[in-house]
């Protein structure tokens, strides 16, 4: 297992392995997102209380889940870089931050649009919304800190530490609706409980979540590959890839 771990940590090995994964991930992302969007937006029944405004959850919920998952991936990559100094972990951390920030912004925007007909306001300093806004600032902080530091190794260490410190915000986002009296509804998905909504509503939502994950990993891998080519431009294997 450790041998495989170190092999995957090599930029060259990762680049070659990703050549095989990308077509499958990209195709799965496109298919699942199209099927999930058509199913959820056109054929899923409206909510008995919120009506058709509930359909925005097919974008909002996957974006929210991926925003948190992306931060956990970034922090994990940061821990790996701090402990083992694996170069690919630093690249992965760098490449996930803008993607995670974009998904967090999408979650906040769609949440505000959903909140207007549901709560009667675009924004409320609700615990879930506020902690998600903090998540966006953490992502942007990682991006800004890396841009501000000149030396790559120093930037990697500093952003890894910031990412790890920010992990404390993730359980606050997840459990805020249980810990405090908030306007935000409970989580739509749970690994331990059956969904409260009918199957014809949560099945397309599940398809969209999986599609968002496939899209996320597709874009993330593409960004990592681009950064690898830039950092390893002087190596023989990159020149071979460029010449092929």
pLDDT the model gives residue 98:
98
pLDDT the model gives residue 241:
80
> How far apart (Å, rounded) are the C-alpha atoms in residues 233 and 230?
5
> How far apart (Å, rounded) are the C-alpha atoms in residues 140 and 184?
24
Name 109's Cβ contacts closer than 8 Å, sequence gap at least 6.
Answer: none
Phi, psi of 51 (to 5 degrees): 65, -145
| Stated pTM of the model | 0.93
Residue-wise pLDDT tens digits, 103-131: 999 999 999 999 888 888 888 888 889 99
pLDDT the model gives residue 231:
92
Residues of the chain whose pLDDT is less than 70? 1-8, 178-194, 242-244
pLDDT the model gives residue 188:
60
Residue-wise pLDDT tens digits, 31-68: 999 999 999 999 999 988 888 999 999 999 999 999 99
The DSSP string of 195-230 is: -SS-HHHHHHHHHHHHHHHHHHHHHHHHHHHHHHHH
3-state secondary structure of 42: helix
Q: Tell me the domain boundaries of the chain.
A: 24-238
Q: How many CB atoms lie within 10 A of CB 232?
A: 18
Residue with the two structure tokens 């615990």: 127
pLDDT the model gives residue 2:
57
């Amino acid at each position: 297992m450790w041998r495989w771990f170190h092999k995957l940590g090599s930029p060259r090995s990762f680049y070659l392995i990703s050549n095989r994964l990308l077509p499958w991930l990209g195709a799965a992302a496109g298919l699942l997102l199209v099927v999930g969007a058509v199913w959820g937006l056109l054929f899923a029944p409206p909510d008995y209380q919120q009506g058709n405004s509930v359909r925005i959850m097919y974008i909002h919920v996957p974006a929210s889940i991926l925003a948190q998952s992306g931060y956990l991936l970034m922090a994990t990559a940061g821990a790996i870089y701090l402990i083992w100094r694996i170069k690919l972990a630093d690249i992965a951390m760098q490449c996930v931050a803008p993607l995670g920030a974009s998904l967090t912004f999408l979650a906040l925007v769609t949440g505000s649009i959903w909140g207007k007909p549901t709560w009667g306001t675009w924004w409320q300093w609700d615990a879930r919304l506020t902690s998600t806004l903090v998540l966006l600032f953490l992502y942007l902080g990682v991006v800004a800190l890396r841009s501000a530091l000149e030396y790559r190794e120093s930037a990697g260490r500093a952003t890894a530490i910031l990412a790890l410190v920010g992990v404390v915000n993730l359980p606050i986002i997840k459990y805020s609706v249980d810990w405090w009296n908030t306007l935000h509804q409970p989580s739509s998905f749970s690994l331990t409980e059956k969904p409260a909504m009918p199957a014809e509503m949560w099945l397309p939502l599940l398809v969209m979540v999986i599609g968002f994950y496939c899209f996320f990993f597709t874009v993330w891998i593409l960004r990592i590959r681009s950064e690898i080519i830039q950092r390893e431009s002087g190596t023989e294997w990159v020149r071979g890839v460029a010449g092929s």
